[in-house]
Structure 1
Amino acid sequence: MTVPYDPSDREKVVAKLPAELRKELKVRAAELGKDIQDAVAEGVEAWRQAQNRPVVDTAGGTSFATYLPAGLYGKLKKDCKARSISYNQGIAQSIRLWLDDNPSPRPRPARVTGARRIIFGNQKGGVGKTSVSAGVAQALAESGHRTLLIDFDPQGHLTKQLGYPMLDINEASLAKHMLKEAKGELSELLVPIKGGDFENHLWLLPACKDAFLLDAKLATAKAVRIKETALEKALEPLEQDFDYIVVDCPPSLGYSMDTALYYCRTREGEEPGTSGIVVPVLAEDSSADAYDMLYDQVQDLIKDMDVDIDLLGFVVNMYDSRKGYVATSSLDEWHNIGEPPVLAVVPELKDQREAVRVKKPLLVHAPYGGQADVMRTVARRISA
């Protein structure tokens, strides 16, 4: 089974760090495109050569886990003992040193097109669109990006899995705003997702069952091209408030998917790959068949609307090599497509299922597990 480290040459270490130091590490690692475990390892190696490092305030620290190369953990503990400091202080000083040695890169030029728009879609159900979109949104927010997560599926699995109620069918909703049937501002429907190192950076637009009617109403709309532009027009007022808008799409190839695909197109003045679609899949044949249908829909929309839509990549979800040849050969085939690339492989672990069961975000329930690390990898690759 795929894991984020090789047990033969890495070992898990746990320390207690203050929340602000953890957040700074995660943001900086994301900015520089580096795995957190590699950043910590570099910091420890540098700290072992440094002398008289200032004390880091670790009061109120909470659990932080990472993986160090085999043997480095023992050397760190030995050095901490020689310097008469705690192991937690040694880790904290190492991370502080890495942050000091790796300053934040210059901020990118201001975007002229609003938030980057990432949709997660596949017309096949059960491939993990909801879990992957939620996990990646959490990882983007954890690394300091203001992120809006939209439940665009009338089944509302995302909303319910995160422990929030769906919007009442008689009240305002995203679908009603798309159809210009709602009063008030769409921003009034957003709810903050609390917990973890992403708090104050992540919001949810909950689902409403009225989205089941959206395809039929879009199909009968009299205005030209309303079915393609409806989502964009509804979300436009929110775009300047967020760095990323992440959309969990319904498992369909209908008009709702058309409007989501149009929303993530490359806009005028926007660099290719800034926005686009991520396709969660499984390592089995039915996912490949479903992707073929989605690909055809994307190409048809590109031709009909004369736009560019970037396929950012696949996320192979719930992968377990112990399932044998079907799984391993299918994974090889996803990799062999080449373009779009496989962004990451999510291991089949209990973390996400447990998070759903207790209605908590994955990066709150199991922030240092293998699946959480993969979500950070996907977030880092699509934000590069």
Structure 2
Amino acid sequence: MAQKSKTSKDETVLGPTGRPYQGFPTPPKLDRHGPARIIALCNQKGGVGKTTTSINLAASLAEYGRKVLAVDFDPQGALSAGLGIQTHDVPTIYDLLLDTKRDPREAIVPTATEGLDLIPANIDLSAAEVHLVNEVARESILSHVLRRVSADYDVILIDCQPSLGLLTVNALTAAHGVLIPLECEFFALRGVALLIETIEKVKDRLNPTIELDGLLATMYDARTLHSREVLERIVETFGDKVFETVIGRTVKFPDASVAGQPLTEYAPEHPAAQAYLRLARELVARGAVA
């Protein structure tokens, strides 16, 4: 909820992060597509909104005319289910990791959202770390897969599993940027330092071009002092790396997931849907997405 801070001549509207509230402009349509910028949505803590953000950010970017590929990189397959895609008896990201000569386009599935495609995942992916552990350059296998389709898209979003294992390291090695969804709850803060340390190690040893695109505050409830204090602490610690867009807590997200739709289509006028559209505009304004 925005707050108003009066000055002598006018009013400055402050957003939840305590910074002047900006209305990011609607990005212009692109006259051509690709190569994609790859963004990993990553946090080793579960239940912080990674998949919800992947679904709704992908749909929002597609609504603004971007060609988007979402990669389900979690054995739970929640991203696939949330987009209404069946994952049984179809090629998945697991098949592409095990057979890097296979054309990744065989596993790409168009979703009901125009401009948004998906590489699905299912429980088979849980065996990937065991199979990959003895592979040469095992940390770079996902990068090899995604580079082969990068020219077809403007942005590729990787929905990581809640861990810092080999799959997540693969995602970080493939990515140009990292977006960290962070629940506005005290314990969510504790693991961020370890995650950023992991990103720095990947940058130093495997992927020198990776950068932290930003931290996204999720499940924010302006009515509670706890939410407000945690968000204030996040901004104090990470400054401008915290997105100005904040995602509020709402029961609409599970309803949209059951329907197999992004919230931006299930309830497009809902404040949380509008917040994800705003996040898409903010990413473009920051230069993280073309």
How many Å separate the matches in 1 of 2:235 and 2:171? 26
2:235 and 2:161 map into 1 onto residues whose CA distance is: 25
In 1, are the aligned partners of 2:26 and 2:281 still within 8 Å (CA)?
A: no
1:20-39 paired onto structure 2 within 5 Å: 33-34=24-25
Greater helix fraction, Structure 1 or Structure 2: 1
User: What corresponds to 2:195 in structure 1?
Assistant: 294
Q: Deviations over 1:11-34 (max 9, x none)?
A: xxxxxxxxxxxxxxxxxxxxx941
Aligned partners of 2:88 and 2:201: how far apart in 1? 33
Pairing 1:140–2:61 present: yes
Q: 2:148 aligns with which of 222, 234, 237?
A: 237
Change (3 A) 1:306 1:186: closer
Q: 1:280 pairs with 178, 181, 198, which one? A: 181
Output the CA distance in 1 between the equivalents of 2:284 and 2:247. Answer: 18
Structure showing greater radius of gyration is 1
**CA separation of 1:167 and 1:152: change in aligned 2, threshold 3 A:** farther
Gaps of 5+ in 1: 4-31, 37-103, 266-275
Cα distance in 1 between the residues matched to 2:277 and 2:57: 7
| Residue 210 (structure 1) aligned with residue 124 (structure 2) | yes
Cα drift, residue 297 of structure 1: 0.6
Alignment correspondent of 1:70: none
**Aligned with 1:192 (options 105, 110, 115):** 110
Which of 88, 94, 99 is the equivalent residue of 1:175?
94
The 8 Å contact of residues 131 and 352 in structure 1, kept in 2 or not, is answered as yes
Which of 90, 105, 121 is residue 42 of structure 2 equivalent to? Answer: 121
SS at match of 1:346: coil
| Residue of structure 2 equivalent to 1:325 | 225
Aligned residue in 2 for 1:349: 250
1:262-291 Cα shifts (integer Å, max 9, x gaps): 1113xxxxxxxxxx0110011112211121
TM-score, normalization by structure 2: 0.84
Q: Which amino acid aligns with 1:176?
A: D
Q: State the partner residue of 2:73.
A: 152
Q: Which runs of 4+ in 1 moved over 4 A?
A: 104-108
Gaps of 5+ in 2: 3-22, 286-290
Identity percentage over the alignment? 29
- Per the alignment, residue 259 of structure 1 pairs with 170
TM-aligned CA distance change 1:334 to 1:174, over 3 Å = same
Name the structure 2 match of 1:77: none
Higher RCO (CA < 8 A, seq sep 6+): 2
Give aligned pairs, total. 265
RMSD over aligned CA atoms reads 2.4
Cα distance change of structure 1 residues 173 and 106 upon mapping to structure 2, 3 Å threshold: closer
